[in-house]
Amino acid sequence: MEAIGKRRNLLAALLAAGLLLSGWFLFQRAAEAAVVFGTMSTVLLVLLILQMRRLHDADLIRNNCILAVPSAVISLPGGCEQTTPEETVVSTFGVLIGSRIYKWGCDGVQGVRLRSIRIDRERMYLCFGDGDKAARIELLHGIPDLKTVMEVKQKLKHETGIEASISGWHMEPE
């Protein structure tokens, strides 16, 4: 999330510089240069708005944290797999992995949805997607006991509506 904030600050500084230069060139009656810096400022404004939106989404995920783990393995459509050693936050609204955001449940019925959750003794697997496209995130959760796993399962069910399947733990009859 820090990287998203730094990019936002950089874009804001570049926008301010572009606006100042555009105003300076207008004052100097250099119309061509003023148009170039004005256009650049418009593009920077759009990028800044998009970055502010990403920061808002990251903040929403972090503030609604269900589970935070130190790393993740991401499997995207097309078979590419990537391991990230960055902090990963699982939330009601998606997953934040370093500065990458994977959202679900925010774009209505046709948007990306969390499809399934599976928890074993070492890992948690989250599958999400829309239509035919699906991605999977594998987290090394580090949860030491069944009681904590059951608490996480209950919180996931309450927050996301998805029932997590548990495997590899000795389940006691209720």
Whether 23 shows a pLDDT value over 70: the answer reads yes
**113 strand-pairing partners:** 129
Tell me if 165 sits within 8 A of 119, measured CB to CB.
yes
> What average pLDDT score do residues 94-102 get?
85
What pLDDT shows up at residue 150?
87
> What average pLDDT score do residues 41-69 get?
92
> What's the predicted TM-score (pTM) here?
0.76
Per mean pLDDT, which range of 25-39, 82-96, 143-157 is the poorest? 82-96
> What average pLDDT score do residues 109-122 get?
81
Whether 19 shows a pLDDT value over 50: the answer reads yes
Q: How many CB atoms lie within 10 A of CB 16?
A: 12
What pLDDT shows up at residue 59?
92
Does residue 127 or residue 107 have the better pLDDT?
127
